[in-house]
Structure 1
Amino acid sequence: MSWTRTRWALALTVLAVAGCGGGPAPRYHSQSMLYLAVAVPAGAKLPEAVAGSLLPPLDELARCRPDWASAVAAGRRMLSRSGAVKLEIQTRDTLVFPDGEYLLRFGQGFNESELIAAASAERALTLVAMVAPHEVASAYPALQAVALAAAEAWGGYVYDVSAKLPVTPAAYAGWRFDPAACDLPRHVLIQQYPYQPGRLRMVTLGMAKFACPELEVRDYPSENAIAVRSLLAGAAGALIARSLAAAGPSEFPRTLDLPAAFLRAAGSQSVSVREAAARGGERVRVSVAAGEADKGDPQEAVVRLAPVEPDGDLGRWTAELSRQLIGFGQQLDIQQNQPLQPDILQAVQASLPALRDEFRAGLPAGSACFVQFRREAPGAGVELLWAQVVGWPDGGLDIQVVSQPVLTRSLAAGDRIRCAETDVVDWAVRGADGGMRSFPRPANKP
């Protein structure tokens, strides 16, 4: 996990909550840190890092994208205020740029040629603004407009440095922040990695823009990763909603009491953060305590989510969370290298058009569609993995992996990928009442 090596990294230390790792209760930061960059391919020129160089691109953005007009106007006002935005040209000596592998896994909207160009980037214009938390709703889209305009004008890409999210201008044009319907994956990245051999950590990146510490969960079983991801996404949304509404810094709650329906939705789609305060329905309670920053974290301020019960068993807790949010436990038999029966596979394929039509028509609230798909790991074999369907365009299925892959090193539970319909070998639909309807295959049913 890389991070910038500029003096602006020190600002995050200033924002850090004293006592993380066992001290006083975490608090919101007194300021939100908005940190974006516009990286350009090798050989491309960057104008001088002054506000005047950004005004023509803003004019062009307003002309070409009328839906950005209000954000463009706010961006002009922000640039006109002395010291409101820190502009700086940075190189690989002062900023860690995403490499090709990172762009391939986490980059948004890149085609092959764009990936190659982006990986060659050696210079970037960084834009940093420190604002009061309640000003984020207007200041963040304003800075987004400046970054988008510059990226389109200079042939580069937008890099959300705090969230470590590289995005093409074409994709970023649809990412304008809207506090009423915050699409969390566009503003806060959630990453999972082994912080020690055999010990997993999942952490948010990008919460500083909402005056929040990062959130983490540690030492959960890998098979429950997607439920942990939903929990982190939902908790992040709830804490962001509180920050946007607060008049000033305040302590975090000791516990969060979140609607299960909100957590299910937050893990896979755009939802209003206001839904985090919804009443009624099944709830999930989670304790909130000071966490421990790891090397490469964007902040020293980290909050750990855990069971409410003292010394609660994390494996049992996350397994129950998985059943509560998904409808079944994720410890599924992977059936490595076992042959598929041709007649069953043919029947599954024949059933997909009807399932696709059902999904596109819209499943009832609280329902979810899952598929089991075939994944080949070159040189290792083939494994069958379960995933939740989050989109079904004509080119295949957009899925979020539920199973923790064993053979496929480049894939992890919680990752979103595109899957060909021809790779689907089974499916199941969870109803709003928690009941499961599935293709009548005799083995390995969730």
Structure 2
Amino acid sequence: MKLFNFRNTIVFVCVLNFSGLVLALEPASEPDIRFRSILYFYPEVKAPADGVVAAFFDRFEIVGELPAASTKPVVTYRLIEDLQDTYPVPDLDYLAYFGRGLDREQAVRIQNARVGLVVDIAYPMPMSVDGMKAANLTLLEIAEATGGVIWDSETRELFTPDSWQANRVAPWDGDLPILEKHTVIHAYQHAGGVRAISLGMAKFGLPDIVVNDFSWSLNRSMGNLINLVAQSFLEGQFPQEDGTLGISINELADTRYKQELVASLGINAQRDVVIQTGKGVREEGDPYNYIVELLFHDQEGRHSSEIQTNLLSSLFGWEDQVAYVQHNAMITAASESARQKLDGLKADFNAGLAPGEFILLKAPFDIPEGGAEWMWVEVLSWDDDAISGLLKNEPVNIPDLKGGSEVTVMQQDIFDFIRHYADGTSEGNETGELILKYQN
């Protein structure tokens, strides 16, 4: 995913005290939560009168400007008639990624917006959940009544009213928000690996979460880990003074989030883990918030990828299909068809894949007792015939090899490939269905 840096944000600063671990933003101030949203109006829509707008804020006290520290929910708002000079609408390229519910025609029309409503809301830290719930509902009511679209300054997304309803108002289970619906994760290539960071936790008075240096094939699992940690923070599980964080799926409140997560687990998931955390280093484009980095210290493994794979597999479970098959003419022909595409894949890889795109190759690994176990390898480098990568399966018959291990295979030995694209589609694995069909 491409990382965008588009800021219509108001900086909030607070001190968060989590189980003895003080997380202080700089500069420090009174602990409260501040959130900015902008309602953009289509050019043909008449801007609402001040009295009409004020009527929607019955859940808040209307003030001329936000106080230095809020002791109750307060709001200040103003109509802006020079949007292009102050708060320009995100462009079409941006909205292709972060326009929620907008079709092409709507995205084009909103580019011509001239008037917007800037809303700044503040509420004390103990009201973090109730304050956000009230803010989301109020913004929806204004948008539905006026025909506006809603900008979330923390997650940097633009919503139609229907999409805001689905993503900001509906995702609550009783009094608990389902945080993965209220936040986003930006993942992008960074310093030879992938970096993923959450945005939007500040709305609930919680730190954002970052993971550094992993491979694209782990992106979905890392996203699941970040969402699990976020929900654990919300429900009161924070790092200890030594930085250790114990997270348990079983101890989560019985919300739809937990139910869906449990249903997705592998059969051997342990469901809990203790992970080391540290203070994340803020980089350009990161949220203006305290950042907790998830580290993988004190976990089993010989290097970072193996350690990460072990932790994720232990927590969420894993299932590998093992097929014992004698290669027949049909399988051999499918493999030869795949092998003819390897030079093109190598050229594309070395020219640079799109963010989020990766290639898996099926290669043989010697079994100590004889024979070979064929497993998938995520390509990290492809130099002439030698391919370095990360093993994506857990070996069955090779005790000294683990999932996530760094391995080297030869192009001449490759049996098949899968090319995963950034949009979630893939091609390849022509031999897969045949192997399952003819397995012993």
The bucket for the TM-score relative to the shorter chain is 0.5 to 0.7
1:320 to 277, 292, 310: 310
Report deviation, 1:439: 6.2
Q: Which letter maps to 2:38? A: A
The 5-angstrom pairing of residues 95-110 of structure 1 reads 95=87, 97-110=89-102
State whether structure 2 residue 61 is matched by structure 1 residue 34: no
**Structure possessing the higher relative contact order (Cα contacts under 8 Å, 6 or more residues apart):** 1
State whether structure 2 residue 131 is matched by structure 1 residue 143: no
SS of residue paired to 2:214: coil
Identity percentage over the alignment? 19
Report deviation, 1:95: 3.1
State whether structure 2 residue 63 is matched by structure 1 residue 76: no
| 5+ long unaligned stretches in structure 1 | 19-23, 59-74, 330-338, 344-376, 387-402, 428-437
Q: Partners of 1:408 and 1:166 in 2: how far apart?
A: 34
User: Are residues 317 and 30 of structure 1, via their aligned partners in 2, closer, same or farther at CA, if it must alter by over 3 Å?
Assistant: farther
Larger Rg: 2
User: Are residues 92 and 34 of structure 1, via their aligned partners in 2, closer, same or farther at CA, if it must alter by over 3 Å?
Assistant: same
2:187 to 188, 192, 211: 192
SS of residue paired to 2:60: helix
Q: Partners of 2:43 and 2:420 in 1: how far apart?
A: 27
Q: Which letter maps to 1:194? A: Q
Does structure 2 conserve the Cα–Cα contact (< 8 Å) formed by 1:16 and 1:301? Answer: no
Aligned to 1:270: 257
Does structure 2 conserve the Cα–Cα contact (< 8 Å) formed by 1:187 and 1:206? Answer: yes
Report deviation, 1:129: 1.7
State whether structure 2 residue 214 is matched by structure 1 residue 224: no
1:211 to 193, 205, 219: 205
Q: Which letter maps to 1:295? A: E
Does structure 2 conserve the Cα–Cα contact (< 8 Å) formed by 1:16 and 1:299? Answer: no
Report deviation, 1:125: 1.6
Does structure 2 conserve the Cα–Cα contact (< 8 Å) formed by 1:3 and 1:95? Answer: no
Normalised by the size of structure 1, how large is the TM-score? 0.59
Q: Which letter maps to 1:298? A: P
User: Are residues 122 and 440 of structure 1, via their aligned partners in 2, closer, same or farther at CA, if it must alter by over 3 Å?
Assistant: farther
Aligned to 1:62: none
Aligned to 1:291: 280
Does structure 2 conserve the Cα–Cα contact (< 8 Å) formed by 1:5 and 1:94? Answer: no
Question: More strand per residue: 1 or 2?
Answer: 2
State whether structure 2 residue 5 is matched by structure 1 residue 2: yes
2:76 to 86, 98, 106: 86
Does structure 2 conserve the Cα–Cα contact (< 8 Å) formed by 1:426 and 1:441? Answer: no
Q: Which letter maps to 1:187? A: H
Aligned to 1:54: 53
SS of residue paired to 2:34: strand
Report deviation, 1:178: 2.6
Q: Partners of 1:95 and 1:5 in 2: how far apart?
A: 7
Report deviation, 1:111: 2.4
Q: Partners of 1:439 and 1:326 in 2: how far apart?
A: 24
Residue-by-residue CA offset, 1:351-377 (whole Å, 9 max, x unaligned): xxxxxxxxxxxxxxxxxxxxxxxxxx9
RMSD of equivalent CA atoms: 4.9
Q: Which letter maps to 1:182? A: P
Q: Which letter maps to 2:274? A: R
Residue-by-residue CA offset, 1:129-151 (whole Å, 9 max, x unaligned): 22123312322222112211222
Aligned to 1:240: 234
SS of residue paired to 2:122: strand
Q: Partners of 1:96 and 1:253 in 2: how far apart?
A: 44
Residue-by-residue CA offset, 1:391-413 (whole Å, 9 max, x unaligned): xxxxxxxxxxxx9999999953x
Does structure 2 conserve the Cα–Cα contact (< 8 Å) formed by 1:240 and 1:273? Answer: no
Report deviation, 1:209: 0.7
Report deviation, 1:193: 1.4
Give the number of aligned pairs.
Answer: 327
Q: Which letter maps to 1:105? A: Y
Aligned to 1:166: 158
Q: Which letter maps to 2:101? A: G
Report deviation, 1:160: 1.3
Q: Partners of 2:7 and 2:134 in 1: how far apart?
A: 23
Does structure 2 conserve the Cα–Cα contact (< 8 Å) formed by 1:257 and 1:286? Answer: yes
User: Are residues 3 and 424 of structure 1, via their aligned partners in 2, closer, same or farther at CA, if it must alter by over 3 Å?
Assistant: closer
Does structure 2 conserve the Cα–Cα contact (< 8 Å) formed by 1:16 and 1:300? Answer: no
SS of residue paired to 1:85: strand
Report deviation, 1:41: 2.8
Q: Partners of 1:293 and 1:144 in 2: how far apart?
A: 27
SS of residue paired to 2:139: helix
Q: Partners of 2:257 and 2:274 in 1: how far apart?
A: 22
SS of residue paired to 2:285: coil
Report deviation, 1:320: 1.7
The 5-angstrom pairing of residues 401-416 of structure 1 reads 412=422
User: Are residues 16 and 340 of structure 1, via their aligned partners in 2, closer, same or farther at CA, if it must alter by over 3 Å?
Assistant: farther
Which stretch shows the higher mean deviation, 91-100 or 159-168?
Answer: 91-100
Report deviation, 1:340: 10
| 5+ long unaligned stretches in structure 2 | 67-73, 263-268, 321-329, 335-347, 361-377, 382-416
Q: Partners of 2:418 and 2:119 in 1: how far apart?
A: 38
Normalised by the size of structure 2, how large is the TM-score? 0.60
